[in-house]
Chain A
Amino acid sequence: MGLLSDPYRRRALSRLILRLNTPLCILSYLAGLGWFLGLASPPFTLRSYMSENAMGSTMVEEQFVFGERALSYAREFAGHRKKVGGIPVAWLEKTMWNLGLEVYKQPFSRTLPFPDEMRERYMVKGTNVYGILRAPRAASTESLVLSVPCSTGQHNSQAVGLMLALASYFRGQIYWAKDIIFLVNEHDLIGMEAWLEAYHDVNVTEVLSSGCWAGLEAIPRQPVSVGARDVQSPLDVAVGGLGTGAGWPNLDLCTTFPDAFCRKLNGCCAPLQGRLQRTDWDTLPAYVHSLQTLLLMVLKQGSGRPQGDHGLFLRYHIEAITVRGINSFRQYKYDMGTVGKTLEGMFRKLNNLLERLHQSYFFYLLPSLARFVSIGVYMPAFGFLILILVLKALDLWMKLSKCDVGPEEQVCDGDRSAAHAAAEESRPGLLTLVPPLLICHAMGLTLYFLPVLGQHVATQHFPVSESEAVVLTVIAIYVAGLALPHNTHRVLTGCGSERSWMTLKLLSLLYLAMLLGCITLINFSLGFLLAVTMVPVAAIIQPKGPKYLYAVLLVLVTPAVTLLLSIVLYQELIEYPISALECWQLFLQAVSEGLLDHYLYGSIVFPFIALFVYPCWLLLWNVLFWK
């Protein structure tokens, strides 16, 4: 408090900020970047451990031995699937019924906002089939979910087989204290979303579903989804950790599974982000390796896409992970029995839990499976970056209001009238800020609404398909925003003073800081990626000096270019470099996927960028071309 009210110390502090502003900013940027790069090295990371005792690796003794049965189920399922040419609903219902489950089906339909060319779907109709194994030892208040996506094509039949075998085995056991729901969902994420929405009796994304919900009176206090996918007998296991809108499953769940696999099946590898783990930790190549893994995780999380069916569960406050089989080229392979055993162990441990998974971490980054970075450790990296904006804003504020040292000093400077004139000037200055703000946000609204609303008009006038039309409209509107400053100036009259651009810059810096701060709490990776690119350029731009250099820099850090660069970086990291043309195609695809993710699964990345970050960036663009 003394620091804030003692005028002498205040004066010293403000002089420090004014004089050392640029060095402090540079230092702070370097510190932020260095901190982030350091996250992959030992002093910043903690060893993963199990907080929940019931989840320990030796808590249950698995007895599942029906690998062969799983395979025969899988063959039968594949046969029926081929015959029906889709998900064999009748057969599944009959089989599950015979196993002694309560079986229900849920037909759903969903019309996409525009055709999804990558997966070739527009009007989606499908059926989810699920069977409930009632817990013999408790009221049906909690449940575990084992879901297997079953899309068109011949994938994943073995996973269904394994699920059925597990169901028949689980049915014979008496220790279940939670209902177990075995779910086969069609059209992967859309089916999953339809099921989840119906389960929670909400309608967030306009999925139309009908069906009998008599079976679902269970309140999902503790559902855990294990999405088994592409389980094949030659197997390694990949664990996908990230959810939609960048939720994280509890770290306990995330580490239990690979832990269980690696211990039970000696030699089985659990790769993270598609990369095998190294055993050593403190060598330079190991550091580079884990940094790459970390970067992959940050890029994936920043995209806000669910990395598997489990991603949708996390939004409903249900911890979930996806298990994927990978065909490895190693000599020893694991059979269905072993995989089933591990899944059984998992379910029994979850069954033993008395309360929600709450002990371990929810905010973390994983440079490797054995190590993690918790929120307290990675947040300073972002904090340093935000500090730049705060320092710059303070600097601008002090320049704008010379009276920060109190009225006393103004007098001894003798420029009382100057200060007075400045105060007079500030009033029209504030009003001139309104048009740019409104215009930039109107642009953001256009970017958000127009592409999808105007797709039909676009297809009538241009020879493009609907989805191309949407993506190209997005890009067109985005680029059109660059012409804004000239148009804004027509609206404004007599605002060409030094103070007005400084006020606008102050406003946009604060706006940017607030946006980044909010998004970082929800999705650290997105916030960090945006901050590391936008912050330094936002701090240096001004309408004076090398204007064209600033313009190029500012264009380079616009979110669209960041997306493009992230795609390139991602491809480099997964060691699958691509040409410029492919990169462009991936970029277009990413834009359309981003829109679809928003409309289908409620991902917030697209609206956040369109409605907030883009207008903020346009404000900065306005500052640059202020006359």
Chain B
Amino acid sequence: MAAPLVLGILVAVTVRAVLYRSSLAGFISERVEVTSPLNAWKRVVEGLALLDLGVSPYSGDVFHETPLIIYLFHFLIEYSELVFMVSFMQCISMSDSFRSFSLVQFKKQKLLMELDRYASDVAELIRTPMEMHYIPLKVALFYLLNPYTVMSCVAKSTCAINNTVIAFFILATIKGSTLLSAIFLALATYQSLYPLTLFAPALLYLLQLQFIPVKLKSKGFWLYTTQYAALYLCSLVVIVGLSFFLLNSWDFILSVYGFILSVPDLTPNIGLFWYFFAEMFEHFSLFFVCVFQINVFFYTIPLAVKLKEHPIFFLFVQLAIISIFKSYPTVGDVALYMAFLPLWSHLYRFLRNIFILSCVLIVCSLLFPVLWHLWIYAGSANSNFYYAITLTFNVGQILLISDYFYAFLRREYYLTHGLYLTRKDGTEAMLVLK
């Protein structure tokens, strides 16, 4: 188990090191799909230069990183490539966390079996320890060798750092450490704001670990929730305060979170924002910015109700929703939730369109640079071509997530009701999504 993982890490590091030295690095770091205004390395360098000159890095309209990141790189600029290699640390943490998660799942499954909660004929739906044993390795390899991760690492997009923080958050949550989980969640929120919505799944999971039922009338539930929320808010306040004292100004609030929320930079990317707001009349844009941003946060509530019992799946769906609907998405964000896919490999038989959808995603990824070339360099295509591909890519992602969601629900249904449903008249029944 450890040997293949080490081998995978070696391969991944080699690939990245080779790409750093090759001429492709420059090309990749210029790609709009890989770097966004929020996390482009070029902008970090600019911010550092301003900082060295004694000017506030936020005085221009270029730098949108948080103060902690700029101080991190202020000391580590010489080793920046190594810093971006941390992605394998992330993969280790993810694989580790999924190892413990699978263990928990397995125990739970056994328990439920013993309690006769599952229907009698679902033996083939039960996950075997053999399958679960390889999941951490698969997750690690899937993340390390995913071209999206490789590109985002080679482009030195700080997205890799955000992903690492989120991975540590997941690890802390699954290990059941309330304090660390709250701190890392606060860090992740501080970095890119949207992980705020991960509060709900983390809380649900921690409650599950403490065997506290999720009931609005229960006292223990409220006590624990308050505790976790307080920890989270306190660490957030501490981090923000620290940032204030580092730079001695509140400029970064507007320049980072204002920038994320009000979407002033309409450089094309793989998200849905740029085209809409480039086309829109100025005086409607405030309204639609609100609508678009609420869209990211909105799904948390219904998902929390529906997936109350399955917080890790909820976490996965929430991460996917963030990466689809956030204002400046990059392929690095996509890679983060894709690393979860091996975890749900037992849903494979219930997936309906996985072949078509994976083809769509791959084709779109290839067409991004082609259409960009036609639009920007050849001048023969236009923004509509590029946006069409962006739209297809996002619709593909949405369908993929809903496919997984539906498959998950279906498996749960089969587990409790038995795999071979019959109608009242004795014929074979079928579950239909309407």
| Contact residue among A8, A401, A517 (Cβ-Cβ distance under 8 Å from B367) | A517
Bound-state Cα–Cα, A363 to B382, Å:
11
A480 at the interface (CB under 8 A from B): no
Task: Closest A residue to B406 by CB, please name it.
Answer: A5
Bound-state Cα–Cα, A8 to B430, Å:
9
Segment among B13-21, B105-113, B156-164, B346-354 that sits at the interface with chain A: B346-354
| Contact residue among A356, A412, A517, A522 (Cβ-Cβ distance under 8 Å from B374) | A522
| Contact residue among A6, A247, A407 (Cβ-Cβ distance under 8 Å from B380) | A247
Interface residues of B in 355-371 (CB under 8 A from A): 355, 359, 362-363, 366-367, 370-371
| Contact residue among B124, B374, B399 (Cβ-Cβ distance under 8 Å from A521) | B374
B53 at the interface (CB under 8 A from A): no
Instruction: Please tell me if the beta carbons of A317 and B377 are within 8 angstroms of each other in the complex.
Output: yes
A362 at the interface (CB under 8 A from B): yes
Residues of B within 8 A of A517 (CB): 363, 366-367
Instruction: Please tell me if the beta carbons of B432 and A6 are within 8 angstroms of each other in the complex.
Output: yes
Bound-state Cα–Cα, A8 to B380, Å:
44
Instruction: Please tell me if the beta carbons of B355 and A397 are within 8 angstroms of each other in the complex.
Output: yes
Task: Closest B residue to A403 by CB, please name it.
Answer: B349
Instruction: Please tell me if the beta carbons of B366 and A514 are within 8 angstroms of each other in the complex.
Output: yes
Instruction: Please tell me if the beta carbons of A411 and B430 are within 8 angstroms of each other in the complex.
Output: no
Instruction: Please tell me if the beta carbons of A407 and B350 are within 8 angstroms of each other in the complex.
Output: yes
Instruction: Please tell me if the beta carbons of B362 and A514 are within 8 angstroms of each other in the complex.
Output: yes
Residues of A within 8 A of B430 (CB): 7-8, 406, 408
Residues of B within 8 A of A284 (CB): none
Instruction: Please tell me if the beta carbons of A317 and B379 are within 8 angstroms of each other in the complex.
Output: yes
Bound-state Cα–Cα, A415 to B84, Å:
50
Bound-state Cα–Cα, A266 to B362, Å:
55
Q: A514-B362, A518-B367 are in contact. Are A7 and B373 (CB under 8 A)?
A: no
Interface residues of B in 107-127 (CB under 8 A from A): 124
Residues of B within 8 A of A8 (CB): 430
Residues of B within 8 A of A407 (CB): 349-350, 419
A interface residues, how many (CB within 8 angstroms): 33
Residues of B within 8 A of A499 (CB): none
Residues of B within 8 A of A397 (CB): 355
Bound-state Cα–Cα, A7 to B379, Å:
45
Bound-state Cα–Cα, A248 to B377, Å:
12
Q: A5-B433, A412-B428, A522-B374 are in contact. Are A362 and B352 (CB under 8 A)?
A: no
A110 at the interface (CB under 8 A from B): no
Q: Most chain-A Cβ atoms within 10 A of its Cβ — which of B352, B353, B378, B432?
A: B378
Shortest Cβ gap from B350 to chain A (Å) = 7
B245 at the interface (CB under 8 A from A): no
Query: Interface on chain B toward A: helix, strand, loop, or mixed SS?
Result: helix
Interface residues of A in 500-547 (CB under 8 A from B): 510, 514, 517-518, 521-522
Residues of B within 8 A of A618 (CB): none
B229 at the interface (CB under 8 A from A): no
Bound-state Cα–Cα, A4 to B357, Å:
11
Task: Closest B residue to A518 by CB, please name it.
Answer: B370
Residues of A within 8 A of B250 (CB): none
Residues of A within 8 A of B366 (CB): 514, 517-518
Instruction: Please tell me if the beta carbons of B362 and A363 are within 8 angstroms of each other in the complex.
Output: no
Bound-state Cα–Cα, A394 to B355, Å:
9
A314 at the interface (CB under 8 A from B): yes
A10 at the interface (CB under 8 A from B): yes
Interface residues of B in 389-434 (CB under 8 A from A): 399, 406, 419-421, 428, 430, 432-433
Instruction: Please tell me if the beta carbons of A362 and B381 are within 8 angstroms of each other in the complex.
Output: yes
Q: A4-B353, A5-B433, A403-B349 are in contact. Are A408 and B378 (CB under 8 A)?
A: no
Residues of A within 8 A of B363 (CB): 514, 517
Instruction: Please tell me if the beta carbons of A411 and B370 are within 8 angstroms of each other in the complex.
Output: no
| Contact residue among A314, A411, A412 (Cβ-Cβ distance under 8 Å from B378) | A314
Bound-state Cα–Cα, A412 to B379, Å:
57
Task: Closest B residue to A517 by CB, please name it.
Answer: B363
Instruction: Please tell me if the beta carbons of A408 and B349 are within 8 angstroms of each other in the complex.
Output: no
Bound-state Cα–Cα, A10 to B366, Å:
28
Bound-state Cα–Cα, A527 to B367, Å:
15
Instruction: Please tell me if the beta carbons of B350 and A521 are within 8 angstroms of each other in the complex.
Output: no
Task: Closest B residue to A390 by CB, please name it.
Answer: B359
Bound-state Cα–Cα, A510 to B371, Å:
20
Task: Closest B residue to A401 by CB, please name it.
Answer: B355
Instruction: Please tell me if the beta carbons of B378 and A7 are within 8 angstroms of each other in the complex.
Output: no
Shortest Cβ gap from A526 to chain B (Å) = 13
| Contact residue among B124, B352, B367 (Cβ-Cβ distance under 8 Å from A5) | B352
Shortest Cβ gap from A520 to chain B (Å) = 10
A264 at the interface (CB under 8 A from B): no
Shortest Cβ gap from A221 to chain B (Å) = 12
Task: Closest A residue to B373 by CB, please name it.
Answer: A522
A489 at the interface (CB under 8 A from B): no
Residues of A within 8 A of B377 (CB): 315, 317
Instruction: Please tell me if the beta carbons of B352 and A317 are within 8 angstroms of each other in the complex.
Output: no
Residues of B within 8 A of A393 (CB): 359
Instruction: Please tell me if the beta carbons of B359 and A510 are within 8 angstroms of each other in the complex.
Output: yes
Instruction: Please tell me if the beta carbons of A362 and B362 are within 8 angstroms of each other in the complex.
Output: no
Bound-state Cα–Cα, A411 to B352, Å:
17
Task: Closest B residue to A2 by CB, please name it.
Answer: B434
Residues of A within 8 A of B378 (CB): 245, 247, 314-315, 317, 362, 522
Bound-state Cα–Cα, A408 to B380, Å:
50
Bound-state Cα–Cα, A1 to B373, Å:
32
Instruction: Please tell me if the beta carbons of A408 and B433 are within 8 angstroms of each other in the complex.
Output: no
Bound-state Cα–Cα, A4 to B355, Å:
12
Bound-state Cα–Cα, A393 to B432, Å:
26
Residues 399-413 of A, flagged 1 when their CB comes within 8 A of B and 0 if not, give 001010011100110
Residues of B within 8 A of A522 (CB): 370, 373-374, 378
Instruction: Please tell me if the beta carbons of A362 and B380 are within 8 angstroms of each other in the complex.
Output: yes
Q: A407-B419, A510-B359, A518-B366 are in contact. Are A10 and B352 (CB under 8 A)?
A: yes
Q: A5-B433, A522-B370 are in contact. Are A248 and B349 (CB under 8 A)?
A: no
Q: Most chain-A Cβ atoms within 10 A of its Cβ — which of B350, B359, B379, B432?
A: B379
Bound-state Cα–Cα, A510 to B377, Å:
28
Shortest Cβ gap from A461 to chain B (Å) = 32
Residues of B within 8 A of A420 (CB): 124
Residues of B within 8 A of A247 (CB): 378, 380
Shortest Cβ gap from A430 to chain B (Å) = 12
Interface residues of B in 312-360 (CB under 8 A from A): 349-350, 352-353, 355, 359
Residues of A within 8 A of B428 (CB): 408, 412
Bound-state Cα–Cα, A317 to B433, Å:
50
Task: Closest B residue to A4 by CB, please name it.
Answer: B353
Instruction: Please tell me if the beta carbons of B406 and A248 are within 8 angstroms of each other in the complex.
Output: no
Instruction: Please tell me if the beta carbons of A521 and B367 are within 8 angstroms of each other in the complex.
Output: yes
Bound-state Cα–Cα, A420 to B349, Å:
11
Shortest Cβ gap from A220 to chain B (Å) = 12
Instruction: Please tell me if the beta carbons of A363 and B380 are within 8 angstroms of each other in the complex.
Output: yes
Residues of A within 8 A of B370 (CB): 518, 521-522
Instruction: Please tell me if the beta carbons of B380 and A248 are within 8 angstroms of each other in the complex.
Output: yes
Q: Most chain-B Cβ atoms within 10 A of its Cβ — which of A7, A412, A416?
A: A7
Shortest Cβ-Cβ A-B pairs, 4 listed: A362-B380, A317-B379, A5-B433, A518-B370
Q: Can you name 17 A-B pairs with beta carbons within 8 Å?
A: A4-B399, A5-B352, A5-B433, A6-B432, A248-B380, A314-B378, A362-B379, A362-B380, A406-B430, A407-B350, A408-B420, A408-B421, A518-B367, A521-B371, A522-B370, A522-B373, A522-B378
Residues of chain B having any CB pair with chain A under 8 Å: 124, 349-350, 352-353, 355, 359, 362-363, 366-367, 370-371, 373-374, 377-381, 399, 406, 419-421, 428, 430, 432-433
- Given A5-B406, A315-B377, A514-B363, 4 other A-B contacts at CB below 8 A? A4-B353, A247-B380, A420-B124, A522-B373
